[in-house]
Amino acid sequence: MSAAELALASGLALLFVQLPDAPYEETPPEIVERMLHLADLHPGDVVYDLGCGDGRIVIAAVRRPGVRGVCVELDPARLKWAREVAENAGVSSLIRFVQGDLFEVPIQDATVVTLYLLRPTNLRLRPRLLRELRPGTRVISLRFDMGNWEAERTEQVGDPPRTIYRWTIPEPRPVR
């Protein structure tokens, strides 16, 4: 293949590769614990981490009795890693691993959604969360807010301090 053909093939391949909506950065373990504390987990909860990276949030969540998790990740290599970490921790049977775009994967059965993305990604995701999640579902975001959807609780954690935000999906407004 000539250099020109190779450049064209690489360009075409790029057209079909979906770019992530947030870069990879791990949540430190002590912040994972604070996020899950703020989520107020109970038996029966189903925790979705949208953009789950190495799976650390759902892996920590399913260690609570009766909690199950769903790890949604665009990057197949990272999802494979998450599955291996969960297997080594003996909790993989409690987690569903989904390779895909967090804007496409069904989320209706979540009772808790955790996010560590970017503010523009949160803002794009917000209508979907409000439309598709059931009332009472808690949404927890590290570092990034949801614009004028005001958080019901916030907490400062770590050094340098980072903010954790919590929202609860409201009951639909009665139509008059």
Interface residues toward ligand SAM, by CB under 6 A: 20-22, 24-27, 49, 51-53, 56-57, 72-75, 78, 101-103, 116-117
Smallest distance from ligand SAM to CB 76, Å: 10
Q: In this complex, which beta carbon is closest to ligand SAM, that of residue 36 or of residue 102?
A: 102
Q: In this complex, which beta carbon is closest to ligand SAM, that of residue 72 or of residue 169?
A: 72
Smallest distance from ligand SAM to CB 173, Å: 30
Long-range pairs of 11-20 with CB within 8 A, sequence gap ≥ 24: 18/74, 18/101, 20/51, 20/74, 20/75
Smallest distance from ligand SAM to CB 17, Å: 12
Nearest CA-CA partner of 70 in 88, 83, 87? 83
Q: In this complex, which beta carbon is closest to ligand SAM, that of residue 29 or of residue 148?
A: 29
Q: Which residues of 122-142 are buried (b: 16+ CB within 10 A; e: fewer)?
A: bbebbeebeeebeeebbbbbb
Smallest distance from ligand SAM to CB 140, Å: 10
Q: Tally DSSP H helices, then E strands, for the chain.
A: 5, 7
